[in-house]
Structure 1
């Protein structure tokens, strides 16, 4: 573990800010809201090792096969419920402070570039509770959520909620999604044809091969539930990270119609100065 995930990002890592008024299609409603992609933050080997570590955490002498539990949704007051009409995918919850610390070291130069290591009166990010307050980044949430989507699985449109620690000393304001596989941009005509077939219930010609090349599975930002056809999509690309604010950004995990999508989700945690 000592040599795993050194602090320095690969030399080819680069940043792409998502400017919602100029995306294709544009979403001017999200002007001044923050989202960015860091390409090549992790190597293929690092992504593979993260999946291996997560799966290994579920193995016991009595259960030697890795177990992906069904992901649940938050229903408030620290409780969760299974709701496959809203969220349908596999999940491994892996508490790993050392890995979270290593990921933060890798991410920190980019978070500083984004100017989100310190939030001063940033009410578009914090909500009105953060008016005239300063929050400083403390860590990444060590509760790493590994997600596995296959065979048409999805996460319907939702907002990410802030997590507050039990002692109320820290709170999250940004999501970090690490894509652990995928090749990035996809053939939109192929994707539409396959997605339409799945939506109609006609599986003829739809390749749900879980071992095939990933098709679908974008993280899609949408302006409202009633207008889901206007979406700014981020397609999974191995080693890339999507960082975005919890507040006000409605998004979905699009159905995976071929292949298997692996991601790691965590949160950026802050402490208020005042």
Structure 2
């Protein structure tokens, strides 16, 4: 089932944002979680542009595990967070000039405090649009 997200800022109305539910079954989500736990996590860094990333624990403090160039599993333990931000694009540095244009997030679990992805209004936080995680 697809659900359109109405972004809170007028200048973003032409941008694409939607939710799709049940991409994975709960059992498949548990399998992905188990695989990521087996592989282990490293501290997540912040993309600072120019193909560089930096550890900035005052801005983002979560653990991640990467299976390929851009696929990441993020795990937020109690007290971990990612401050409000705009996702940046990824530029491949192999001479191909390829870059990313979209972000896809799949939630593998739910039932915890916090964790919503929130589309932030630039000047009025009462107009923020939170998207509460659902398994799958």
TM-score of the pair, normalised by structure 1: 0.46
- For residue 50 of structure 1, report the CA deviation from its aligned partner: 1.3
CA-atom RMSD in angstroms: 1.7
Residue 90 of structure 2 corresponds to 163
Q: Is residue 176 of structure 1 aligned with residue 104 of structure 2?
A: yes
Judging by fraction of residues, say which structure has more strand: 1
Asked if 1 retains the 8 angstrom alpha-carbon contact of 2:45 and 2:55, the reply is yes
**Counterparts of 1:151 and 1:56, CA distance in 2:** 20
Look up the match of 2:3: 16
8 Å CA contact 2:51–2:90 kept in 1: the answer is no
Inter-partner Cα distance in structure 1 for 2:83 and 2:19:
21
Name the residue aligned to 2:32.
Answer: 50
Query: Which runs of no fewer than 5 residues in structure 1 stay unpaired?
Result: 1-13, 21-26, 58-66, 96-141, 183-212, 240-274
- Cα distance change, pair 86–229 in 1 and its aligned pair in 2 (3 A): farther
SS in 1 for 2:67: strand
Q: Deviations over 1:140-192 (max 9, x none)?
A: xx53111011212111111111112222342211100000001xxxxxxxxxx
Superposed displacement of residue 238, structure 1: 0.2
Aligned twin of 1:150: 77
Match of 1:267 in 2: none
> Structure 2: how far apart are the matches of 1:88 and 1:51?
19
- Structure with max Cα Rg: 1
Aligned twin of 1:84: 57
Describe the SS at the equivalent of 2:100.
strand
**Higher RCO (Cα < 8 Å, 6 or more apart):** 1
- Where is the helix percentage greater, Structure 1 or Structure 2? 1
Gaps of 5+ in 2: none
Q: What is the TM-score of this pair, normalised by structure 2?
A: 0.88
SS in structure 1 of the partner of residue 106 of structure 2: strand
